[in-house]
């Protein structure tokens, strides 16, 4: 099956082929992201209106929608052009008024002749003690029943498109929904009591009551699972391509690793030992490694990564480590240098800043194999960078790196193994949606000797007290991070700007004690300020969130975060992880502006109560939802139309398990179920992975 299956053509046709959709409506829908009938079907109603007929408006509690049969009474025309046109109505128990603005009297006289019977449906309200219905949604003769659903679904709309138009278009799209061969494992369908796809689609668009709109109804659950399953199949196919891709067998003799372990003042944690073993086993297989190393702040990822690189060096190969920024690349180098020296291994850094002769010399040494480990930014993967024998690429801070980049990265060496590191603890459901194609090693213990960081919440009003206690700490030789949310003062936002806070603290502490770092500074200036702080020459570093990822100054034991309530939890957790890296007790001060919102208070309390990044990430997911949490623009995380990552994470686990199982048994999707799955991938617009199956 090379092209889209014929059976799906009606769902991928022109929107103008649907009832009520002309060129103008089609353009409005397309601008809002609905390009074909299938897109409308994937947008389920989010609410419903009860249109069941009652005997009187007195049977409901206004304001609410009501549908009643009436006898039309006298018409009262407006006295002025902008006035209201009123029509009296009598139902089974009482009289009320229907009100129309900017109405055409001749039209209303034709629609509502005095003395006739009509069914009207609309919102009933009480105004000046009288029942009134302004602009009924429906008015029709009971003798010629109009297709008025008893329970009318309510859809998300875009400007210029009404509920009536949307309902009509979706009804027309539903007529194209036909039975498709089942792609879900029959035992799952049976256990869950799920309807077939076509039945589920109709039921989801035609709810009969409010409960039918809930995520856990059989119809909606099934459609959500279809979406998760297609997504997990895509990841599993990418994974099996990487898995099937021939790798190099890389096994070391352990000599360099034992040198490093001997020099360490501590033993690795069990989690580190386990992760190193899992990576070593992957490297020793003749298949490409595709593994995620997920560790909380301070869990010791650097050591695990370096051990993996040493296995490559022991076997005569090279390793590369890629960081998202120049500052981080240089920091990785600083962190790895003492370990490399202990093992007598040549390590170098390559960033965009390397120019001319210096760059050419590094590239020549790299190609000869004289540089064994190269650290750098994405500059490592430019055309002119040639390795002698690259075995392993380690990517740090992966959320800027989607599945596609992972596949591309692996093409640099002959068969490069890929290890991705992230210090962002991710709730399991999100990790599956983002990294479902990878094997995962988790570092869930802190190395011994790490003291808990004491976190306190302090109102902005007590700023002077904080400055005084910091002054005391600095006089004792301690170092301090002071994080501000914005660079320049803004008239709209009163967030303390880094510039102003820097001037204020410099006035208190004197020249040379305080440094400033923010994203708008030239890189060289930024680096030298960081370097002065790292060397201990400056005692206070005022910064925006540029220091969030990876900065390592063991002597810095105090972190002040101003306007902490406007930061996300993951960001607060990352920032706090900059302290607590040495032996001394560390403190984190969360300065907030009262009064706090409910979620602001919850966020700060979670920070005070726990240092467990996974607990913090789960709370963040509950408070903010998946879309906000990962900033989907740059994250490689899919946007699901029906499925809900927060509410339906159990379905994601099930989908991952089933997707991997299917491909193990039927790698080319050739069985009957395999062919049905191909249809699902086309239906969910994930067909781009199908060529990977046949390529193998």
- Kindly provide the b/e burial profile for residues 381-417, where b requires at least 16 CB atoms within 10 angstroms of the residue's own CB: beeebebbebbbbbbbbbbebebeebbebbebbebbb
The model's confidence at residue 8, banded by pLDDT at 50, 70 and 90, is: very high
3-class SS of residue 328:
helix
Side-chain-facing half-sphere of 36: CA atoms under 13 Å = 12
Domain boundary among 610, 629, 663: 610
pLDDT of res. 106? 87
pLDDT of res. 634? 34
Mean pLDDT, rounded, for 189-208: 95
Mean pLDDT, all residues of the chain? 84
Mean pLDDT, rounded, for 26-31: 90
Spell out where 104-222 has E strands.
Answer: 117-127, 130-134, 138-140, 151-154
On whether both 379 and 516 belong to a single domain, the answer is no
On whether both 508 and 538 belong to a single domain, the answer is yes
Rounded CA-CA distance 350/363 in Å is 9
Q: CA angle, 274 as apex, 273 and 275 as ends, to 5°?
A: 95
Domain boundary among 586, 610, 634: 610
Residue with tokens 């994601």: 652
Judge whether 622 lies within some domain: no
- The model's pTM is 0.62
- Which ranges of 489-557 does DSSP label H, i.e. alpha helix? 498-509, 523-534
Rounded CA-CA distance 432/650 in Å is 11
Residues pairing with 561 in the sheet? 483, 590
Domain boundary among 408, 443, 478: 443
On whether both 228 and 368 belong to a single domain, the answer is no
On whether both 75 and 39 belong to a single domain, the answer is no
Judge whether 427 lies within some domain: yes
The model's confidence at residue 546, banded by pLDDT at 50, 70 and 90, is: low
pLDDT of res. 430? 64
Rounded CA-CA distance 441/293 in Å is 5
- Which ranges of 582-648 does DSSP label H, i.e. alpha helix? 598-609, 613-624, 626-630
Judge whether 312 lies within some domain: yes
Is the pLDDT score of 117 beyond 90? yes
Phi, psi angles (nearest 5°) of residue 495: -60, 135
* Burial status of residue 695 (CB atoms within 10 A of its CB: 0-12, 13-18, 19 or more): exposed
The model's confidence at residue 195, banded by pLDDT at 50, 70 and 90, is: very high
More confident: 590 or 573: 590
Cβ pair 178, 9 in contact under 8 A: no
Of 6-10, 204-208, 301-305, 397-401, the least confident: 397-401
pLDDT of res. 317? 93
The number of angstroms, rounded, from the C-alpha of 562 to the middle of its chain's C-alpha atoms is 26
- The pLDDT tens digits for 322-372 are 887 777 788 888 889 988 999 999 999 998 788 889 999 999 999 999 999
On whether both 194 and 142 belong to a single domain, the answer is no
3-class SS of residue 122:
strand
Rounded CA-CA distance 633/640 in Å is 14
Q: CA angle, 553 as apex, 549 and 559 as ends, to 5°?
A: 70
3-class SS of residue 372:
coil
On whether both 193 and 96 belong to a single domain, the answer is no
- The pLDDT tens digits for 593-624 are 888 888 788 889 889 988 877 777 777 766 65
Residue 150 sits in a domain whose CATH number is 2.40.50.140
Residue 339 sits in a domain whose CATH number is 3.40.50.300
- The pLDDT tens digits for 133-169 are 999 989 999 888 676 788 999 999 888 888 889 999 9
For the chain, give percent helix, strand, coil, nearest 5: 45, 20, 40
On whether both 123 and 238 belong to a single domain, the answer is no
H/E element, 40: helix 37-41
More confident: 429 or 79: 79
Taking residue 630's Cβ as centre, other Cβ atoms within 10 Å add up to: 22
pLDDT of res. 329? 85
Is the pLDDT score of 627 beyond 50? no
On whether both 147 and 185 belong to a single domain, the answer is no
On whether both 326 and 391 belong to a single domain, the answer is yes
Rounded CA-CA distance 416/391 in Å is 5
On whether both 460 and 474 belong to a single domain, the answer is yes
Judge whether 628 lies within some domain: no
Judge whether 162 lies within some domain: no
Judge whether 553 lies within some domain: yes
Number of domains in the chain: 5
Three-class secondary structure assignment of 77-95: CCCCCCCEEEEEEECCCCE
pLDDT of res. 108? 92
Judge whether 69 lies within some domain: yes
On whether both 408 and 527 belong to a single domain, the answer is no
On whether both 296 and 433 belong to a single domain, the answer is yes
Full domain range(s) for residue 658: 222-244+644-695
Judge whether 159 lies within some domain: no
């Amino acid at each position: 099956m090379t092209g889209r299956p014929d059976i799906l053509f009606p769902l991928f046709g022109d929107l103008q082929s649907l009832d009520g959709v002309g060129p103008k409506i089609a353009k409005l829908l397309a601008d809002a992201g609905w390009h074909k009938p299938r897109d409308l079907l994937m947008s389920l109603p989010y609410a419903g209106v009860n249109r069941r007929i009652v005997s009187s408006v007195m049977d409901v509690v206004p304001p609410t929608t009501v549908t009643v049969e009436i006898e039309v009474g006298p018409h009262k025309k407006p006295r002025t052009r902008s006035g209201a046109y009123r029509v009296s109505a009598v139902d089974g128990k009482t009289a009320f008024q229907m009100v129309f603005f900017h109405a055409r009297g001749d039209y209303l006289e034709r629609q509502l002749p005095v003395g006739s019977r009509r069914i009207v449906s609309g919102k009933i309200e009480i105004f000046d003690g009288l029942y009134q219905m302004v602009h009924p949604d429906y008015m029709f003769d009971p003798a010629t029943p109009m297709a008025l659903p008893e329970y009318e679904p309510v859809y998300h709309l875009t400007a210029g498109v009404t509920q009536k138009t949307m309902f009509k278009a979706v009804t027309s799209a539903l007529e194209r929904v036909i039975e498709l061969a089942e792609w879900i494992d029959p035992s799952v369908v049976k256990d869950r009591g799920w309807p077939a796809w076509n039945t589920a689609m109709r039921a989801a668009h035609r709810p009969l009551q409010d409960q039918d709109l809930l995520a856990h109804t059989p119809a909606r659950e099934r459609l959500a699972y279809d979406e998760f399953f297609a997504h997990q199949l895509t990841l599993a196919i990418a994974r099996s391509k990487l898995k099937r891709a021939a790798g190099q067998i890389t096994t070391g003799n352990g000599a360099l690793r034992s040198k490093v372990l001997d020099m360490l003042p501590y033993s690795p944690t069990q989690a580190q030992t386990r992760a190193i073993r899992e990576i070593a086993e992957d490297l020793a297989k003749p298949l490409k490694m595709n593994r995620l190393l997920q560790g909380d702040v301070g869990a010791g990822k650097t050591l695990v990564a370096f051990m993996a690189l040493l296995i490559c060096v022991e076997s005569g190969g090279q390793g590369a480590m890629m960081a998202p920024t120049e500052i981080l690349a240089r920091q990785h180098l600083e962190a790895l240098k003492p370990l490399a020296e202990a093992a007598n291994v040549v390590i170098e850094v390559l960033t965009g800043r390397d120019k001319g002769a210096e760059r050419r010399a590094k590239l020549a040494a790299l190609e000869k194999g004289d540089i064994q480990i190269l650290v750098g930014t994405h500059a490592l993967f430019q055309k002119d960078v040639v390795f002698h024998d690259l075995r392993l690429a380690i990517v740090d801070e992966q959320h800027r790196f989607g599945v596609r980049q992972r596949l591309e990265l692996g093409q640099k060496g002959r068969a490069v193994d890929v290890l991705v590191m992230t210090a962002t603890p991710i709730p399991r459901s999100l990790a599956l949606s983002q990294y479902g194609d990878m094997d995962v090693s988790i570092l869930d213990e802190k190395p011994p000797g790490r003291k808990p960081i004491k976190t306190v919440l302090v109102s902005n009003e007590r700023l002077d007290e904080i400055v005084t206690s910091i002054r005391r700490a600095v006089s004792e030789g301690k170092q301090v991070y002071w994080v501000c949310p914005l660079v320049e003062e803004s008239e709209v936002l009163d967030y303390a700007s880094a510039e102003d806070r820097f001037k204020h603290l410099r006035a208190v502490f004197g020249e040379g004690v305080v440094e400033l770092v923010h994203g708008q500074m030239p890189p060289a200036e930024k680096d030298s300020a960081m370097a002065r702080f790292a060397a201990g020459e400056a005692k206070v570093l005022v910064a925006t969130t540029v220091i969030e990822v990876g900065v390592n100054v063991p002597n810095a034991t105090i972190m002040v975060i101003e306007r902490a309530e406007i930061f996300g939890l993951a960001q607060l957790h990352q920032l706090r992880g900059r302290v607590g890296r040495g032996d001394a007790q560390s403190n984190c001060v969360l300065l907030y502006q009262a009064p706090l919102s409910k979620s602001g208070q919850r966020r700060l309390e979670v920070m005070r109560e726990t240092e467990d990044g996974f607990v913090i990430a789960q709370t963040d997911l509950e408070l903010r939802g998946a879309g906000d949490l990962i900033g989907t623009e740059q994250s490689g995380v899919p946007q699901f139309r029906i499925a809900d990552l927060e509410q339906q994470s159990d379905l994601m686990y099930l989908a991952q398990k089933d997707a991997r199982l299917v491909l193990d048994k039927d790698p080319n999707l050739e069985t009957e179920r395999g062919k049905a799955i191909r249809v699902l991938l086309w239906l969910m617009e994930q067909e781009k992975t199908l060529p990977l199956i046949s390529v193998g």
